Structure 1
Amino acid sequence: MKIFYAIQATGNGHISRAIQLYPFLQKYGSVDFFLSGNNSSLNIDLPVKFKSEGCSLHYSKCGGLNYWDIVKNIKPTQIYKDAKSLPLKNYDVIINDFESITSLACKLQKVHSVQFGHQASFISKNTPRPEKKNIMGEMILKHYATSPKHIGLHFEKYDSFIHPPIIKDEIINSNPKNLNHITVYLPSFQKDCLEKAFNKLADVQFHWFLNDIAFKYSEGNITYFPVDQKQFNVSLINCDGIITGGGFETPAEALYLRKKILSIPIRDHYEQESNAAALKKMGVPVVYEIDEDFDKIIKNWLNTKIIYPKIQPNNIPETLQHLFDTYHN
């Protein structure tokens, strides 16, 4: 069997999930990966056969999306050419993790596909949304990467087609400890947006992962790390808590490890705001704006005992068997 797997590289989560799934997919046949976008900072240890600039996210300085930069870097003519050139009819199964070019290619070439991943869960009206719904955000979630079939992943089973999150083996097989540091991963924030708040908390040790850091070094109570999967896993497994965005994979792993979470969703990013709404229902504190009192918010969070519900990891063999058994249904 030949399998085509499309990855939306607007963040590290989609790639991390694909890396975890790859050995299981190989049991069904050969796998070729298509990578679209350029926001990921992970080393991609996958057989990527096709690439496209696609659509990438661009951030403002302190925690928001820069829609002007996003739009001006989209190349519709190139996207159409890329969609036409993908040889999808050479494959038996098309798996699409929220990638728009593959979705377009399936329509042009009249090829079947399944949308598999976190964004697929938003097809259900039961999946949590922020109090104030956003029409454009809903349209993107439902129409950006359409498919006739959906297998969603989320924190909880909000609908029949939604499965638990894919948790990395390194996390599942770990022996979690509390070494009294706070792990920080907020790719939409530049260093000077948060550094002052962290420095005010001199008795708290921070492990801060940043895209523009080339090597690990320490200044005061902050240890700066490059975005590296192995170092991040070690930090997360041994942290007291994590300050992160409103993504899916990192909060899911933190919940699995029973770590404290402080979520700061990317401003004007509807999917992250929706994830934050789901986390809020689970008892996770959410911060929407960073101001001069952010250090006090962190201190209060650290001093508050919170018990989150235990989440179960995805049974990958079972979920993939379901995907292949029902692919044409």
Structure 2
Amino acid sequence: MRVLFLVQGEGRGHLTQALSLAQILQTAGHDVIGALVGITDERGVPAFFSEKFTAPITPIFSPGLVYNAGTNELEPFKTTVQAIRYAKPFWRSLKQVRDVIGQQRPDVVVNFYEMLGGLTYALLRPTVPMVCIAHQYFAFHPNFQRPKKQWFYRQAFKINTRLTCFGAEELLALSFDKQADEPSQRLRVVPPLLRQEITDLKPVDGDFLLAYVTQPGLKTELLKAHQQHPTLQMDAFHSGVNVPDQVIDDTLTYHAIDGKRFLDFMSRCKAIVTTAGFESVCEAAYLGKPALMIPQPNHFEQACNAIDGQRAGVGVAADRFDLEQLLAYLPHHDLQVSDRFRSWYAQGYFLFLAALNRAAMAKSKPSGGFFWTRMRHILR
């Protein structure tokens, strides 16, 4: 089976999922023939992906999300304005995706939440079957957890997610735990896709808390929490540090962002404080590390992840750096959650191969009115 990837280049999650699936396919004897990766003028293909992905990579323009430079808050209005501004180059990108699919002639296209994929299939209608993979598709499941009083962000998230998957044979929703499939939504629930660096680690019980700080406001909250618990050992990775280790005092040390070192610290910590990105929370769950999940402001998807992660027992959701909440939770954390998570993860190899084989056997026949029919359904 010849498989072509289409990957959203925003952040690390979808890219690491693509690396993980490529390894599964290659182990099973299939051929990953390339990847189209969405980029912007400010963001190219990350080195960690280009260095590890063994097939040809084609960067392709795709408008990204807009965050506030000072607060790191997601700005939906500016994101929409930017997308409209880049309408012409975006249309050229759709035609480029169609042309690459036509030239490469894969048996199946796998789309990791890239909007170019859904809109190409809606408007230009390639005949190669497409399968879409992302945690975001769990939003179409009746058990999906969502915060209250965020109607605007919920609608924007729902529309954006639909735009990525028009014409797909199946939607594979990555989930913290096993859930029933939803055939009416073309939805199958599957385990997370984790990078091999995580599954190779041998976790041990530690006595320190680990924090991953990306928002300027969280650094202030971290210092306040440290002053309230001065005897509690904490290590924090954040982008404001320019040296490998910056010792603040006997129990607090800052570290420069370093993916490999962070994984080593995570395998040895007692618990982790992080944003509510699906990938990072799953990595902590695999290693048996309870998480305090703090969604980025205005980031509806992360708010949902935090609630869903709490439902699944991998940690506790919070709206700020609240060590009191985490410390109160830790004695009640179910130590069997990690075992169940690992068991669920182990089923992924067969579930992903079965889904792609089903798609490769199918013939994609999107109708001319498919796009607008789905849009009417979304906006009801």
TM-score, shorter chain, exceeding 0.5: yes
Q: Is the 8 A contact 1:3 1:91 kept in 2?
A: no
1:177 aligns with 2:208: no
Q: Cα 1:289–1:41, aligned 2, differ >3 Å: closer, same or farther?
A: farther
1:4 aligns with 2:18: no
Q: Deviations over 1:204-223 (max 9, x none)?
A: 33332324544411222433
Rounded to whole Å, the distance in 2 between the matches of 1:186 and 1:202 is 19
The Cα shift of 1:146 comes to 3.0
Give 2:162's aligned residue: 142
Moved more, 113-122 or 32-41: 32-41
Rounded to whole Å, the distance in 2 between the matches of 1:51 and 1:203 is 50
The Cα shift of 1:234 comes to 0.9
Q: Is the 8 A contact 1:198 1:206 kept in 2?
A: no
Letter in 2 for 1:235: F
Give 1:205's aligned residue: 233
Rounded to whole Å, the distance in 2 between the matches of 1:151 and 1:157 is 12
Q: Is the 8 A contact 1:54 1:79 kept in 2?
A: yes
Letter in 2 for 1:99: E
Rounded to whole Å, the distance in 2 between the matches of 1:298 and 1:317 is 33
Rounded to whole Å, the distance in 2 between the matches of 1:40 and 1:264 is 27
Q: Structure 2 unaligned runs (5+)?
A: 182-187, 363-380
Counterpart mapping for 1:152-171 below 5 A: 152-160=173-181, 161-171=188-198
Rounded to whole Å, the distance in 1 between the matches of 2:46 and 2:269 is 22
SS in 1 for 2:317: coil
Rounded to whole Å, the distance in 1 between the matches of 2:253 and 2:148 is 36
Give 2:366's aligned residue: none
Letter in 2 for 1:252: C
Rounded to whole Å, the distance in 1 between the matches of 2:259 and 2:20 is 12
The Cα shift of 1:49 comes to 2.1
The Cα shift of 1:231 comes to 1.5
The Cα shift of 1:51 comes to 3.0
Give 1:128's aligned residue: 145
Rounded to whole Å, the distance in 2 between the matches of 1:6 and 1:263 is 29
Counterpart mapping for 1:262-281 below 5 A: 262-281=292-311
Q: Is the 8 A contact 2:276 2:305 kept in 1?
A: yes
Rounded to whole Å, the distance in 1 between the matches of 2:345 and 2:155 is 32
SS in 1 for 2:48: coil
SS in 1 for 2:198: helix
1:103 aligns with 2:118: yes
Q: Is the 8 A contact 1:60 1:188 kept in 2?
A: no
Rounded to whole Å, the distance in 2 between the matches of 1:33 and 1:123 is 26
The Cα shift of 1:5 comes to 0.8
The Cα shift of 1:186 comes to 4.0
Rounded to whole Å, the distance in 1 between the matches of 2:351 and 2:237 is 32
Counterpart mapping for 1:82-93 below 5 A: 82-86=93-97, 87-89=100-102, 90-92=104-106, 93=108
Number of residue-to-residue matches in the alignment: 325
Give 1:319's aligned residue: 351
Q: Cα 1:79–1:142, aligned 2, differ >3 Å: closer, same or farther?
A: same
Letter in 1 for 2:176: F
Q: Cα 1:257–1:245, aligned 2, differ >3 Å: closer, same or farther?
A: same
Q: Structure 1 unaligned runs (5+)?
A: none
The Cα shift of 1:198 comes to 4.5
Rounded to whole Å, the distance in 1 between the matches of 2:275 and 2:25 is 29
Q: Deviations over 1:56-76 (max 9, x none)?
A: 341464463233543444322
The Cα shift of 1:144 comes to 4.0
Q: Cα 1:146–1:152, aligned 2, differ >3 Å: closer, same or farther?
A: same
Rounded to whole Å, the distance in 2 between the matches of 1:43 and 1:214 is 20
Rounded to whole Å, the distance in 2 between the matches of 1:195 and 1:135 is 32
Q: Cα 1:263–1:34, aligned 2, differ >3 Å: closer, same or farther?
A: same
Aligned-pair identity (%): 19
Rounded to whole Å, the distance in 2 between the matches of 1:10 and 1:103 is 16
The Cα shift of 1:114 comes to 1.0
The Cα shift of 1:163 comes to 1.0
SS in 2 for 1:82: helix
1:33 aligns with 2:53: no
The Cα shift of 1:248 comes to 0.9
Q: Is the 8 A contact 1:123 1:142 kept in 2?
A: no
Q: Cα 1:326–1:155, aligned 2, differ >3 Å: closer, same or farther?
A: same
Q: Cα 1:261–1:30, aligned 2, differ >3 Å: closer, same or farther?
A: closer
Rounded to whole Å, the distance in 2 between the matches of 1:55 and 1:18 is 18
Q: Is the 8 A contact 1:60 1:66 kept in 2?
A: no
Q: Is the 8 A contact 2:245 2:256 kept in 1?
A: no
Q: Cα 1:239–1:289, aligned 2, differ >3 Å: closer, same or farther?
A: closer
SS in 1 for 2:316: coil
TM-score normalised per structure 2:
0.76
TM-score normalised per structure 1:
0.86
